[in-house]
Amino acid sequence: MQYLLCLNYWRNLTLAVNSTLRDRRKLQTAADIQRAAVSLALHSGYDTLTTEMIAAEAGISLRTFFNYYPNKDAAIVGHRPVIDTESAEQFKASSGPLIDALFQMLTPMLTAKIMDREVAKMIGELMNRSPEFLSLFYTSLNTLRNN
């Protein structure tokens, strides 16, 4: 279960290998917004957190915030991982052990960019402090599973 929880925090990692400077900046901005959202939720409280506070903490405009995330909940959870079509097809066609096929599919994502462990740690702490966030996070996982 812990492994599945961590998967949700890898944001569009496949872009990092063959990406342009613009793509890398987008990934960094999304990561900065998520870090600001989680940090503020821990320090100020989830209930009092606003998109305006997140944008100010991340050093961006409110309009830029909404270019990346539709609301504060999405900013805390982050973007779902993107698995390229070739890796997904190889996973489906695999006849070996499931765990081997899973690691083969995830390896390009994991080597492209290492998850921000500090943010993952802060999210774990936020889940312990704010029960309302826990249900939001599980809803996010269910959405990821169903897509």
pLDDT in tens, 67-119: 999 999 889 988 766 677 887 888 888 888 888 887 777 776 666 555 577 88
* HSE, side-chain direction, 13 A CA sphere, residue 134: 7
Termini Cα distance of the chain:
19
10 burial (CB, 10 Å; 0-12 / 13-18 / 19+) is buried
Which pLDDT band holds residue 12 (cuts at 50, 70, 90)?
very low
Please give the average per-residue pLDDT across 3-30, as a whole number.
59
33 burial (CB, 10 Å; 0-12 / 13-18 / 19+) is buried
Mean pLDDT (the chain) is: 77
In which residue are the tokens 């900013």 written? 75
The confidence score (pLDDT) of residue 19 equals 66
pLDDT exceeds 90 at position 127 = no
CA 123 to chain centroid, in Å, comes to: 11
Q: What is the pTM of this model?
A: 0.67
The confidence score (pLDDT) of residue 104 equals 79
d(CA 39, CA 46): 10
pLDDT exceeds 50 at position 8 = no
